Homo-oligomer: A and B are copies of this chain.
């Protein structure tokens, strides 16, 4: 199964005074790919959150930086499922600098499924579990 990939161009505002993307923004690129992953599955993350009273806050986030990204670079975030349990899901990501043909970074996130009314961890609904399981 091919992995999910989301292509994008680096924004000016994402850079810092060293003329490279600020390290915190890689986590935002991951999050953007996550939103696009829902879209690819015909879902809107915003609607899932609202209709199911769910959110997926992160409990863990890490990233290893390999090569910088610059303004305007073509880049690509690849997501792959690393582990799914009853109430949480761990996703690995890679960000590639397509312009330079190099891997820019890789990392992982652990998301917990919470009910936004109680802010308590709950089981991931079957439909969402299925979606994540198809991630590759």
Enumerate chain A interface residues (CB-CB to B < 8 A): 9, 11-13, 15-20, 22-25, 27-28, 31-32, 35, 39, 44-47, 49, 55, 57-65, 68, 70-73, 116
Contact = CB atoms under 8 A, between A and B. Distances in A.
A45 B70 CA distance: 12
Contacts of A13: 16, 22, 24, 28, 31
A19 B135 CA distance: 28
Contact of A72 (B16, B46, B64): B46
A86 to B, nearest CB: 19
A57 B27 contact: no
Contact of A17 (B15, B28, B47): B15
B11 A35 contact: yes
- State the oligomeric state as a number of copies: 4
16 contacts: A11-B28, A11-B31, A13-B24, A13-B28, A16-B16, A17-B70, A23-B57, A24-B25, A35-B72, A45-B72, A46-B70, A46-B73, A59-B64, A60-B62, A61-B63, A62-B63
A49 B12 CA distance: 12
Contacts of A63: 60-62
A18 B116 contact: yes
A23 to B, nearest CB: 5
